[in-house]
Amino acid sequence: MDTFCEISCYSKDKDRSIAAIDAAFKEMKRIEDIFSKFDEHSEVSRINRLAGIEKVRLTKEVFSLTQDAVYYSQISEGAFDITVAPLMELWKGARKGNSMPDRAELETTLKSVGYKNIELDPDELYITFLNKGTKVDFGGIAKGYAVDRAKDILISKGINKGLINLGGNIFALGSAPGNKNWGIGVYDPREKDKLLYTFRLTNKAISTSGNYERFFEIGGKRYSHIINPVTGEPCMGIVSVTVVSGSAEKADALSTAISVMGEEKGLNLAKAIKDIEVLILKEDGRVISYPLERAGNEL
Ligand code: ADP
Ligand code: MG
């Protein structure tokens, strides 16, 4: 998934921990093989080749994550959208050529972008793209999903204290040994050794999306790898968005969504959903959090 992964487990039985970690890594590798857009044999590559031409039958798993992705598009008013794939390709080309994408090309690409181009048949598990150029990219949700599945594997192997970190998509299982919870720090990207905030979590997921770890440069200027699916432009003004939720998939998708939505709309979404916590770092240095009590606490 083009990132690092760390799993720690705590148990009195070392062999049990090792077996659990091994099984969790295997599960994440399995998921990577399905959702990879780099591997031409992956299920997602098959969808991208065919769904614009004919209906494609999906496995239950891929169908279900696609349904979830569409749900996150709906609640974020299209800010989260797996059909950004053609835009990702466009910007990748721009980065390689070290020049901004051509305006006309951007407009043409935007025509194939939009989750409403995805048609799902839940009875037969078919997917069809209503536009020939539509393609999907699970990069904003698959890591979170993989973390949830890895966490389920750890639990099924008898582990109840552990930490999974897949490129900033974290699940804090139980508590750290000798503690009531796990302390997960969010760094200030401008001052790398300064902790901005510490979340105290137990059995919760936390995900950070930001342009300080993963970004690309054109003409010496930094651009986020999160693209606004409506304008086709990389999202701007926000350094990072951290979301805490019971599900890593949800935290992953919503941290990406809120990066696009920005402060006002993003906070409105958080308020509407209620069961998430959000920390937004703005480029102008401001830190915004939801629920607001957080701000008085530890920031
Ligand atoms: P990270 O990969 O650092 O965890 P995100 O979870 O925010 O960051 O996901 C960014 C990835 O999601 C991009 O590399 C791309 O594959 C995909 N993506 C970019 N913009 C969007 C968007 N608006 N909606 C959904 N997925 C997106
Ligand atoms: Mg994400």
User: If pLDDT is split at 50, 70 and 90, which confidence band does 118 have?
Assistant: very high
Q: What are phi and psi of 49, to 5 degrees?
A: -75, -40
Ligand in nearest proximity to the CA of 165: 1
Instruction: From 226, 228, 238, give the residue whose CB has the most ligand 1 atoms within 8 Å, as the site to mutate.
Output: 226
Quick one: pLDDT at residue 213?
Answer: 63
Q: Pocket of ligand 1, candidates 84, 110, 145: which has the most ligand atoms within 8 Å of its Cβ, to mutate? A: 84
pLDDT of residue 299: 45
Per DSSP bridges, beta strands 287-290 and 277-282 are: antiparallel
72, 73, 137: which to mutate for ligand 1, most atoms within 8 A of CB?
Answer: 137
Percent of the chain exceeding pLDDT 70 equals: 96
Question: Which atom, in ligand 1's list, is nearest to the CA of 144?
Answer: 6
**Nearest CA owner, ligand 1 atom 8:** 209
Task: List CB contacts of 22: < 8 A, sequence separation 6 or more.
Answer: none
Whose structure tokens read 């949800």? 250
Give the residue among 3, 9, 27 at the shortest CA–CA distance from 147. 27
Q: Whose CA is nearest to atom 10 of ligand 1?
A: 140
Determine the Cα–Cα distance for residues 255 and 129; give it in Å rounded to an integer.
26
Q: Output phi, psi for 268, to 5 deg.
A: -60, -40
DSSP 236: -
| pLDDT recorded at residue 6 | 98
Report the 10 Å Cβ neighbour count for 195. Answer: 12
Question: What is the chain's mean pLDDT, rounded?
Answer: 94
Residues by chain with Cβ below 5 Å of ion ligand 2: 140, 209, 252, 255-256
Residue 13 has pLDDT above 90, yes or no: yes
Question: 294 pLDDT exceeds 60?
Answer: no
